[in-house]
Every structure is written in C-alpha cells, then in structure tokens.
C-alpha cells in the first residue's frame, strides 16, 4: 500500500540565508566594549535591528565571561542570533545557539544584475543578492541608477556597486568589491565585505557617516577635515584606511 505523506495539514519548512554582521570580541573585554560604544555613538543606528553573530573562535573565555558579554551586548540593543566557535561547555539553556560553517559571503539565489532604486518608504530595505563567489574572483557589478534614500540598504556581496547619484544620511551600501558613488556620500559605505582587502571606495563628494573596507572602519569624526566635501578615493593599507583627493 502506498501512503501519501503530505496533506493539507502539512507544514512547509524552507531554508533561508541572511546577511548578518559578525562581531569578533577581543580581550580585555571592557576595552573592546568601550571601542564598540565609541563606534555606536559616532554612527547612530549602526547596530539597530541588525542580526549579529558573535565570533569567539579565537577568544579564550569561560562561561561566566560569555554570559557577561551577552548581557553587555543586550544592554546595548545588539541582538545576537548565534555564537560561532564556542566549545560545548560554554553554552547553557537560554543562550543563542552555537553556529558552524559561517561563510564570508551568503548563499543566495541569483537575482538580476542591475537594480533601479524606486521610491521607498523610509524603513524599506533594498537588497541586491546573488550566488556566492569568493572575493578574489568577484567580478560582477551592479548599477543603482537613482539616489539611495535614507533607510535604504543596497547589499551586493558578489562584487562592485556603482551608484549614479547620492547616498543619503541613514542609507548604506555594502559591497563585496569596490563602491563607486557619482554623487555625495552622506550615509555608510562598506566595501570588501567578504574579505576583499583590495576593494576601494570612490565618491564625488565625501560627507560619510561611516566608511569600512574589509571590516576596518572609519567614522565621520575620524576623517580629515580637508577631505570633507571633496572627491575622494579610499583604500586599505596595513589595516588602516588611506584616502586621497581625486581633483
């Protein structure tokens, strides 16, 4: 006899991949938390509503220290969805789950190669996704043909992002490769997001809230005054973000 294993009462379960931030704490934790507070203070809303994975692969801590760290992050409204790299003895009920197999780039389904930004609500997130590709082979690119407005995010881990227009304060561009902005950059630009140290950021007018290349960041307060409002390119050199005027 053949028995049907699905019926109208079945529950469909699907897999999903989402882009998250990975935080890698360093010892001593109190000093690391101070630096985290400094980043959050100078880039308001950077962690707001973002899923975060806590990477403790290289962190030598015990369970009480881990619990204390999670409490400190929770008090800062940092939502930890999972912990990567912790040995089993560190975990207890109520903690975020242990995660393994994290990859630099998410495993998404292919999307169109070009995005045209529409007229979004302030809270709308515009995401561009594609198949996973190692950073060294990332040659794909997309073009955003209109300004990126406050509250929008353009995320493209495959390669370069070019914006024909400005990026407003409160908006962000996250690219696996380089970022090219043919207008004012007033929001956040995060290039080399999948470990690409050769990525660069180019913009016609620098007024950014935050810049990052391969995880090394620079906030508005860290930027040289003479570069504000100028046409600039930025790159990574010896774990420091370098900049020069283009005109």
According to the model, what pLDDT value does residue 240 have?
Answer: 87
Per-residue confidence band for 3, with pLDDT thresholds at 50, 70 and 90:
very low
According to the model, what pLDDT value does residue 153 have?
Answer: 83
According to the model, what pLDDT value does residue 196 have?
Answer: 87
Task: End-to-end CA distance of the chain: give it in Å, rounded.
Answer: 78
The residue with tokens 């990975």 is 22
Q: Is the pLDDT of residue 241 over 70?
A: yes
According to the model, what pLDDT value does residue 179 have?
Answer: 96
Q: Is the pTM of this model over 0.75?
A: no
Q: Give me the percent of the chain exceeding a pLDDT of 90.
A: 29
Per-residue confidence band for 12, with pLDDT thresholds at 50, 70 and 90:
low
Q: Is 18 exposed, middle or buried (0-12, 13-18, 19+ CB in 10 A)?
A: exposed
Alpha carbon of residue 102 to chain centroid:
14
According to the model, what pLDDT value does residue 2 have?
Answer: 52
What does the CA dihedral 113, 119, 122, 124 come to, rounded to 10 degrees?
A: -40
Q: Give me the percent of the chain exceeding a pLDDT of 70.
A: 74
Alpha carbon of residue 201 to chain centroid:
15
Q: What is the pLDDT of residues 168-224, one digit of tens each?
A: 998 889 998 999 999 999 999 999 987 888 999 999 999 999 899 988 888 888 888
If one compares 59 and 11, the residue with the highest pLDDT of the two is 59
Please state whether beta strands 172-175 and 188-191 pair in parallel, antiparallel, or not at all (unpaired).
Answer: parallel
Q: What is the pLDDT of residues 83-139, one digit of tens each?
A: 888 888 888 888 888 877 655 543 333 233 333 333 322 223 334 433 343 444 445
């Amino acid at each position: 006899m053949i028995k049907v294993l699905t019926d109208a009462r079945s529950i469909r379960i699907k897999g999903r991949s989402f882009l998250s931030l990975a935080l890698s704490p360093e010892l001593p934790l109190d000093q690391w938390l101070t630096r985290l507070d400094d980043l959050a203070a100078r880039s308001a809303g950077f962690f707001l509503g973002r899923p975060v994975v806590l990477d403790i692969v290289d962190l030598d801590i015990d369970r009480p220290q881990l619990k204390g760290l999670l409490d400190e992050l929770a008090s800062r409204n940092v939502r930890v969805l999972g912990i990567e790299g912790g040995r089993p003895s560190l975990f207890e009920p109520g903690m975020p789950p242990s995660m393994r197999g994290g990859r630099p780039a998410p495993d998404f389904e292919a999307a169109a190669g070009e995005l045209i930004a529409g007229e979004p609500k302030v809270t709308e997130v515009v995401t561009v996704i594609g198949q996973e590709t190692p950073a060294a082979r990332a040659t794909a690119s997309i073009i955003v043909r209109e300004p990126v407005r406050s509250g929008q995010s353009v995320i493209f881990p495959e390669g370069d992002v070019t914006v024909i227009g400005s990026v407003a304060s409160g908006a962000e561009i996250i690219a696996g490769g380089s970022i090219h902005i043919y207008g004012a950059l007033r929001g956040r630009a995060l290039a080399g997001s999948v470990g690409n140290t050769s990525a660069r950021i180019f913009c016609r007018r620098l007024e950014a809230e935050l810049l990052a290349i391969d995880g090394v960041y620079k906030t508005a307060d860290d930027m040289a005054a003479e570069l504000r409002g100028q046409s600039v390119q930025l790159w990574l050199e010896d774990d420091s973000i370098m900049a020069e005027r283009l005109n």
